Structure 1
Amino acid sequence: MKPNLLWSVVGYTAVIGASLLTRHAAREAYRKTAGAAPPENPGRRDTRWREALLWGTASGALVGVARVVGQRLGDEARRRQERQRSRRVLKRLKD
């Protein structure tokens, strides 16, 4: 497997994992603060506008932040690995 493809898979896996964990944490936080489960379908008639907008805004923002963090961490890990590889090659050339 090519290194770029491997790091793309690692990066996307980190993003998906961070998004899933964040969504779960957001649901639990909503349950504790609101005292009820978050709306499963904000478009239903029995869901109040306030609940739908609050849940949509909060969960969207948190998942967006988690995706950015996951991408940044994945990219940083890739850069770190490339630097180490470059140092090893330079060391072999010097020896």
Structure 2
Amino acid sequence: MKRKMLWSVVGYTAVIGASLLTRHSAREAYRKTTGTAPPENPGRRDTQWREALVWGMASGALVGVARVVGQRLGDEARRRRERRRPLEHLRD
């Protein structure tokens, strides 16, 4: 049971790290592309609809992809580790 919890933590850490890195990269890409910072709060009245929608779609899509990649990499690492020691789970 402990091993399963450890790999869950590793997997979630990979997902969170990938999401944070992607969000930071998306902000920088938006800043370089538009010359302005992305909207802090897309729901504010002084934010234009176009700006809010573009930022929401772009950041949401990128973070979603990063989460999937993080999950896949975490699961792949777990599978590789389990293949190396196939009988180790019998000791727990």
Superposed pair shares fold, TM > 0.5: yes
Q: Work out whether 1:83 is the aligned partner of 2:68.
A: no
- Matches of 2:85 and 2:66, distance apart in 1: 28
Let me know the Cα RMSD of the aligned residues: 1.3
Which residues of structure 2 form unaligned runs of 5+?
88-92
Q: Percent identity?
A: 85
Which residues of structure 1 form unaligned runs of 5+?
90-95
Q: Work out whether 1:11 is the aligned partner of 2:43.
A: no
Query: Across the two proteins, how many residue pairs are aligned to each other?
Result: 88
Q: CA deviation at 1:53?
A: 0.1
Aligned to 2:90: none
- Normalising by structure 1, what TM-score? 0.90
Q: CA deviation at 1:24?
A: 0.1
Could you list the structure 1 runs, at least 4 aligned residues long, displaced by more than 4 angstroms after superposition. Answer: none
Q: Choose 1 or 2 for highest CA Rg.
A: 1
Alpha-carbon displacement from aligned partner over 1:23-55 (angstroms, at most 9, x marks no partner): 000000000000000000000000000000000
